[in-house]
């Protein structure tokens, strides 16, 4: 079984030649010292750490899994040691501010690190996956006293953090949360209730765990506006243990290396984070960061599945491939069969486009944080608001379905455990569900973000994409035609929606996928413009997936537009 290898050459090409990231970042005062050499060095070191330390633990993480005994959770062999090395080397603090103990590097480098980590070992990566969001949440919403106690420990990853939202009866609808917070005389709160599916609710990776919990004050109104955010650690600063217990961990389809915990809060003394009734606002900081991370999980896992399938297709021989001209009795590599080639090149097209879009989104986060120009900041906010749900949805969908196609390349050998591809398919499935299911992402995009301003924000995003197309593709091209169709389709939904309250909800997924296809085409046009055509090896590397995108991926756009238009016509 071949373990995942971080191939940082491709990532570096996308970052520098396609996204022009070093120049964009160096133009920001905060990153004036972040030169291309430094970025390359961080990327190379990330790749080395992931390939050498994290990837080899993936199989044990699946087979041994996290173990629960009397409220104590023991992580799989090697996980704790790897985590200690991880935080002591400063990896979790990559993009945290220097004043909080971080390295002050761009978000985009952290995004690339997390893509590699998820590809190598999704289960292990769940543990630090929420750290950065928790750091931002505490930094922007907690009191100075709380910050003094927790900010640096969370920024550096010395302590891990959880996000406690879900309850047995409250999943997508957090307005149903019942966990209650009763004020105590000293200004703190007693938290009581049960949270389920809490990733990393209990483990032995760090000395302390910081829980961020959504709960309801006694006089709070029903629904989401009655939710407040609270912080309760496993151990308080004086060393005493809080009344937070892990009652069980779930048996799951995959992701065995990550304990999914049922957490009981038994009048646990906690502190309010932010204002009463503004819990969801504070939590959204964490959830938006987490959504990009989940998209990166999808991209990484699909890359890991592709690596395995591609290697196998270069070894396994079966039957003669059309046009290969071997003699009777001889068999060709399965990678030479058009059906297998189609699977492999198509997944490559998804991974490479996904990287461009995810790294671009992370760069936009850097602009939001550090650009002094309000117009640039507003455009970056728009990009993140519109593109993040698209990425979360389509790349987690593709990780599972494309990963399953990669499993198909192995035939029966993919269905048995030997090659490790079935673990990727099992592990990837959950990413379509958590951090807001993919159905919720589609509704978030169309109903909450596009229809709300009559499609103006989406039009602005599309204008920006067109302006960034390479010169020769700017007019009368299929890409431009697709952008025009998307604009027209958006307006049709805007017009028809008032006649049929359910319309937007029915076509939300078709709409999200249409946007994804336009974004992917843009990403690939940018990749092709960045390729050095005089280097035959480089040209060959990128040409097959570019062709697969046009042959096998983009035709879906027509089907999606057809569905949306039919639904709008029926509603009118
Ligand atoms: C392994 C794992 C780890 C997790 N980690 C965490 C964690 O760390 N913290 C945490 O708080 N939670 C966590 N979760 C919970 C996760 O976020 C929820 O499972 C998810 O939000 C969906 O909620 P639900 O399971 O209750 O499904 P439901 O909300 O009951 O949804 C069931 C189905 O109905 C659909 N649906 C629901 N409402 C709508 C709607 N309005 N429109 C269209 N379709 C709708 C959903 O898309 C889904 O297909 C985790 C879950 C898993 C499995």
d(CA 296, CA 116): 9
Nearest CA, atom 2, ligand 1: 197
What pLDDT, on the 0 to 100 scale, is given for residue 533? 87
Could you please report the per-residue DSSP string of 199-225? ETSS-SSSS-EEEEEEEE-TTPPSSGG
Mean pLDDT value across residues 218-232: 97
pLDDT-based confidence at residue 189 (cuts at 50, 70, 90): very high
> Which residue among 129, 171, 249, 504 is best mutated to probe the pocket of ligand 1, counting the most ligand atoms within 8 A of its Cβ?
171
| pLDDT tops 80 at residue 329 | no
194 close to ligand 1 (CB < 6 Angstrom): no
Check pLDDT > 70 for residue 481: yes
Supply the pLDDT for residue 490.
98
| 494: CB partners within 8 A, 6+ apart | 451, 454, 455
Strands 260-273 and 244-249: antiparallel
Atom of ligand 1 nearest to the CA of 443: 42
Band of residue 445 on the pLDDT scale cut at 50, 70, 90:
very high
Q: Which atom of ligand 1 is nearest to the CA of 165?
A: 11
Mutational pocket test of ligand 1: of 166, 280, 441, 504, the residue with most ligand atoms within 8 Å of the beta carbon: 166
Listed in sequence order, the residues at least 6 apart from 180 whose beta carbon sits closer than 8 Å to its beta carbon are 191, 192, 193, 215, 216, 217, 218
CB of 134 shorter than 6 A to ligand 1: no
Tell me what pLDDT residue 217 has.
Answer: 98
- Tokens 């379905």 locate to 401
Question: pLDDT digit string (tens) for 340-397?
Answer: 999 999 999 999 999 999 999 999 999 999 999 999 999 999 999 999 999 999 999 9
Residue 263: in which H helix or E strand, if any? strand 260-273
CA dist 126 and 297 (Å) reads 10
- Residue 471 has what pLDDT? 77
Distance 196 CA to ligand 1 centre (A): 11
- List of E strands, 129-179: 160-164
Query: What ligand 1 atom has the least distance to the C-alpha of 438?
Result: 47
Q: What's the rounded Cα separation, in Å, for the pair 157 and 155?
A: 6
Please tell me the pTM assigned to this model.
0.97
Domain ranges of the chain: 1-436, 437-572
Which pLDDT band, with edges at 50, 70 and 90, does 287 fall under?
confident
pLDDT at 326: 62
Residue nearest to atom 14 of ligand 1 (CA): 197
Assess whether the C-beta atom of 277 lies below 6 angstroms from ligand 1. no
Using the predicted structure, report yes or no on whether residue 334 has a pLDDT greater than 90.
Answer: yes
pLDDT of residue 476: 66
Mean pLDDT of the 395-421 span: 97
Residues in the chain: 572
Q: Quick check: 474 pLDDT over 70? A: no
pLDDT, mean over the chain: 95
The β-bridge partners of 246 are: 263
Q: Is the pLDDT of residue 538 over 90?
A: no
Q: Is the CB of 294 under 6 A from ligand 1?
A: no
- Ligand 1 atom closest to Cα of residue 130: 8
Tell me the mean pLDDT in the region 443-461.
98
Would you call 115 exposed, middle or buried from its count of C-beta atoms within 10 A (0-12, 13-18, 19+)? Answer: buried
Assign 284 a pLDDT band (cuts: 50, 70, 90).
confident
Question: From ligand 1's centre to the CA of 393, what distance in Å?
Answer: 13
The residue whose CA has the least distance to atom 37 of ligand 1 is: 172
Instruction: Answer whether 163 contacts ligand 1 (Cβ < 6 A).
Output: yes
Which fold would CATH assign to domain 1-436? Butyryl-CoA Dehydrogenase, subunit A; domain 3 (1.20.140)
Q: Please report, in angstroms and rounded to a whole number, the separation of the first and last CA atoms in the chain.
A: 56
* For range 100-111, the mean pLDDT: 96
493-522: average pLDDT: 98
Is the CB of 439 inside a 6 Å radius of any atom of ligand 1? yes
- Cβ 198 under 6 angstroms from ligand 1: yes
- Minimum mean pLDDT range among 200-214, 271-285, 297-311: 271-285
Residue 227 pLDDT:
98
Q: Is 443 in the pocket of ligand 1 (CB under 6 A)?
A: yes
pLDDT of residue 314 exceeding 80, the answer is: yes
What average pLDDT does range 311-326 have in this prediction? 88
Exposure class string for 527-552: b at 16+ Cβ within 10 A, else e: bbebbeeeeeebeebbeebbebbeee
pLDDT tens, position by position, 508-533: 999 999 999 999 999 999 999 999 98
Looking at per-residue confidence, does 327 or 558 come out higher?
558
Predicted confidence (pLDDT) at residue 28 exceeds the cutoff of 90: yes
**What is the Å distance from ligand 1's center to 121 Cα?**
23
- Give 162 Cα–ligand 1 centroid separation in angstroms: 16
Per-residue pLDDT tens digits for 239-267: 999 999 999 999 999 999 999 999 999 99
Q: What's residue 541's pLDDT?
A: 93
Q: Check residue 419 and report its DSSP letter.
A: G
Q: Which of 110, 136, 422, 435 is catalytic?
A: 435
Element holding 470 (H helix, E strand): none
Nearest to 279 by CA among 174, 192, 186, 381: 174
In the structure, what pLDDT confidence band is assigned to residue 475 with cuts at 50, 70 and 90? low
The candidate with the shortest Cα–Cα distance to 177, out of 165, 162, 189, 192, is 165
**Quick one: what percent of the chain has pLDDT higher than 70?**
98
State which of 172, 201, 511 you would mutate to test the pocket of ligand 1, scoring each by most atoms of that ligand within 8 A of its C-beta: 172
| Bridge partners for 195 per DSSP | 263
Q: Tell me, yes or no, if 435 is annotated catalytic.
A: yes
Report how far residue 356's alpha carbon sits from residue 47's, in angstroms, rounded to the nearest whole number.
Answer: 18
Give residue 282's pLDDT band: very low, low, confident or very high (50, 70, 90): confident
* Cα(60) to centroid(ligand 1), Å: 27
Residues above pLDDT 90, as percent of the chain? 93
């Amino acid at each position: 079984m071949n373990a995942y290898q971080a191939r940082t050459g491709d990532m570096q090409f996308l970052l520098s030649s396609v996204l022009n990231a070093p120049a964009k970042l160096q133009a920001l005062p905060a990153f004036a010292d972040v030169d291309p050499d430094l970025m390359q060095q961080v990327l190379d070191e990330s790749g080395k750490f992931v390939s050498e330390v994290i990837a080899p633990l993936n199989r044990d993480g699946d087979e041994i899994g996290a173990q629960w005994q009397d409220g104590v959770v023991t992580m799989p062999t090697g996980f704790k040691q790897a985590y200690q090395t991880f935080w002591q080397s400063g990896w979790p603090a990559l993009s945290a501010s220097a004043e909080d103990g971080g390295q002050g590097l761009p978000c985009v480098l952290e995004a690339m690190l997390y893509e590699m980590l998820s590809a190598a070992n999704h289960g292990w990566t769940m543990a630090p996956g929420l750290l950065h969001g928790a750091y931002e949440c505490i930094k922007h919403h907690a009191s100075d006293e709380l910050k003094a106690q927790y900010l640096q420990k969370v920024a550096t990853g010395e302590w891990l953090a959880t996000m406690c939202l879900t309850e047995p009866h409250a999943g997508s609808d957090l307005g149903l949360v019942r966990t209650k917070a009763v004020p105590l005389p000293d200004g703190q709160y007693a938290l009581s209730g049960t949270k389920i599916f809490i990733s990393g609710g209990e483990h032995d990776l760090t000395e302390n765990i910081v829980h961020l919990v959504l709960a309801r004050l006694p006089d709070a109104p029903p629904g989401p506006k009655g939710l407040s955010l609270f912080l309760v650690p496993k151990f308080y600063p004086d060393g005493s243990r809080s009344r937070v217990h892990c009652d069980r961990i779930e048996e799951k389809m995959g992701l065995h290396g990550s304990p999914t915990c049922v957490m009981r809060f038994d009048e646990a003394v906690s502190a309010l984070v932010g204002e009463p009734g503004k819990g969801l606002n504070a939590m959204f900081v964490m959830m938006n960061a987490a959504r990009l991370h989940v998209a990166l999980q999808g991209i990484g896992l699909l890359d890991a599945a592709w690596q395995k399938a591609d290697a196998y297709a270069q070894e396994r021989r079966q039957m003669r491939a059309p046009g290969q001209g071997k003699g009777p009795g001889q068999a060709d590599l399965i990678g030479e069969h058009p059906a297998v080639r189609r699977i492999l090149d198509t997944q490559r097209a998804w991974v490479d486009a996904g990287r461009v879009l995810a790294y671009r989104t992370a760069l936009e986060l850097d602009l939001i944080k550090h650009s002094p120009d309000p117009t640039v900041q507003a455009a970056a906010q728009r990009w993140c608001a519109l593109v993040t749900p698209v990425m979360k949805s389509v790349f987690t969908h593709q990780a599972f379905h494309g990963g399953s196609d990669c499993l198909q390349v192995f035939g029966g050998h993919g269905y048995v455990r030997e090659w490790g591809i079935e673990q990727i398919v099992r592990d990837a499935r959950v990413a379509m569900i958590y951090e807001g299911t993919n159905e919720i992402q589609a509704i978030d995009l169309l109903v909450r973000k596009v229809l709300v301003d009559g499609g103006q924000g989406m039009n602005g995003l599309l204008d920006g994409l067109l302006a960034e197309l390479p010169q020769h593709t700017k007019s009368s091209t299929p890409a431009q035609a697709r952008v025009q169709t998307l604009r027209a389709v958006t307006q049709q939904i805007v017009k028809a929606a008032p006649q049929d309250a359910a319309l937007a909800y029915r076509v939300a997924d078709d709409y999200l996928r249409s946007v994804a296809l336009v974004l992917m085409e843009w990403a690939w046009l940018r990749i092709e413009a960045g390729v050095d055509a005089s280097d035959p090896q480089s040209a060959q590397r990128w040409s097959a997936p570019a062709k697969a995108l046009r042959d096998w991926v983009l035709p879906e756009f027509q089907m999606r537009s057809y569905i949306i238009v039919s639904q709008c016509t029926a509603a009118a």
